[in-house]
């Protein structure tokens, strides 16, 4: 157990270093390409940092044919647990990072049109994912339509996000890099090639760190006798989502609220559309009590943020409520 805890600590340090490299390179890339913070956060950062946790359910589902229902349970739980974690605990911890500086009555101010667009597309797609659970697996044609619809939702979202970029840049919401690129500090020039090299290095470190972190968490969970379903709904999302959302904490502490929230809400859209589309086709995708409870809490957290998205920003106290929603989910789930 001691070696596993040491592995967790080392891999968390790797993830923290990778997050700093990633955010720094992404800011320079967004500035160089003259794109909005919405595109940088909701698309580039969200998809880039979602790659490690995306691999987990895909590998689990792919191994389902040889490992039976256990791997399918892990796959479904990891798919649905990620948006749950992002919309509740990740949002809560990010807001907690600025609670002292902004106060309970303060506000966070992501660019409103991009923030609400992310949440609108996510809520639409995740509602479709929930509805698909009530379609019998024998009616595969209907399930295929649900999957295609969800892929279509994400494709439309990407197009609309890019279309809004030029107008947002003109309105003062362009991505800005606050300092020199980290690789430039060792003598390399700052141009597109070195920016891409730093991004690839950061993503590689993120993947390595996340995989090592997941391995450690799995070992600890096995030592504690945690079930596969609980592992997939709670522990795997904590291991895969929270460390990489250090990016959002770094950004919001620097006053880059749009990038911070885009990293979370953009990942919610990505993981609430494409991965459920796969799960609908390749897993039983059934409305079990634990799963439905998680979906309800996730939709409630997303809707709560959407309702509180005002022109002057979101109240800090309202975002802290999302942490209470996660706590409520834990209480309900662990009592069963």
pLDDT reported for residue 61: 65
Task: Find, among 94, 72, 75, 112, the residue nearest to 271 by Cα.
Answer: 75
Alpha helices in the chain (DSSP H): 2-33, 37-39, 46-62, 64-67, 69-85, 91-96, 99-102, 112-132, 140-163, 165-168, 192-224, 228-230, 236-241, 246-253, 257-282, 289-307, 316-335
pLDDT reported for residue 65: 46
Q: How far is CA 284 from its chain centroid?
A: 24
pLDDT reported for residue 121: 95
Quote the crossing angle between the two packed helices 2-33 and 192-224, to the nearest 10°.
150
pLDDT reported for residue 115: 92
Which H or E run includes 315?
strand 314-315
Task: Find, among 45, 54, 49, 98, the residue nearest to 75 by Cα.
Answer: 54
Domain ranges of the chain: 2-172+181-335
Enter the pTM of the model. Answer: 0.78
256 vs 4, 149, 162, CA distance in Å?
A: 35, 33, 19
Contact present, 329 and 301 (Cβ < 8 Å): no
- Low-confidence stretches of the chain (pLDDT beneath 70): 1, 4-5, 8, 12, 19, 35-43, 45-46, 48-74, 165-179, 181-182, 187, 190, 210-211, 213-236, 239-244, 336
Quick one: CATH architecture of 2-172+181-335? Up-down Bundle (1.20)
pLDDT reported for residue 91: 93
Residues paired with residue 314 on neighbouring β-strands, in sequence order: 108
Task: Find, among 336, 300, 325, 327, the residue nearest to 122 by Cα.
Answer: 300
Q: How far is CA 142 from its chain centroid?
A: 28
Residues paired with residue 315 on neighbouring β-strands, in sequence order: 107
pLDDT reported for residue 179: 67
| Per-residue tokens: 218 | 């799995």
Task: Find, among 274, 335, 323, 282, the residue nearest to 86 by Cα.
Answer: 323
User: Which residue carries 């379903």 as its tokens?
Assistant: 229
């Amino acid at each position: 157990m001691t070696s596993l805890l040491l592995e967790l600590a080392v891999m968390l340090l790797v993830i923290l270093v990778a997050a700093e490299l990633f955010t720094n390179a992404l800011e320079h890339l967004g500035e160089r390409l003259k794109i909005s913070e919405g595109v940088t956060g909701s698309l580039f950062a969200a998809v880039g940092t979602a790659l490690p946790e995306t691999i987990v359910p895909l590998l689990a589902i792919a191994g389902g044919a040889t490992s039976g229902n256990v791997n399918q349970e892990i796959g479904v739980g990891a798919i649905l647990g990620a948006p749950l974690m992002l919309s509740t605990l990740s949002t809560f911890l990010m807001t907690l990072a600025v609670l002292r500086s902004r106060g309970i009555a303060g506000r966070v101010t992501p660019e409103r049109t991009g923030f609400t667009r992310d949440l609108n597309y996510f809520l639409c797609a995740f509602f479709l994912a929930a509805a698909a659970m009530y379609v019998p697996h024998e009616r595969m044609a209907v399930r295929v339509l649900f999957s295609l619809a969800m892929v279509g939702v994400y494709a439309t979202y990407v197009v609309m996000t890019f279309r809004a970029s030029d107008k947002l840049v003109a309105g003062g919401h362009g991505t800005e890099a606050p300092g020199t690129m980290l690789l430039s500090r060792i003598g390399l020039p700052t141009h597109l090639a070195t920016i891409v090299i730093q991004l690839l290095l950061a993503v590689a470190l993120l993947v390595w760190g996340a995989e090592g972190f997941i391995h450690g968490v799995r070992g600890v969970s096995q030592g504690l006798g945690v079930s596969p379903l609980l592992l997939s709904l709670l522990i795997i999302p904590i291991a895969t989502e929270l460390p990489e959302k250090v990016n959002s904490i770094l950004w919001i502490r620097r006053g880059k609220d749009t990038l911070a929230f885009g990293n979370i809400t953009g990942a919610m859209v990505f993981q609430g559309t494409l991965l459920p589309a796969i799960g609908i086709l390749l897993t039983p995708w059934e409305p079990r009590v634990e799963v439905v409870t998680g979906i309800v809490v996730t939709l409630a957290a997303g809707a709560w943020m959407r309702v509180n998205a005002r022109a002057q920003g979101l109240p800090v106290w309202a975002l802290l409520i999302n942490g209470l929603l996660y706590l409520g989910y834990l209480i309900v789930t662990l009592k069963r």
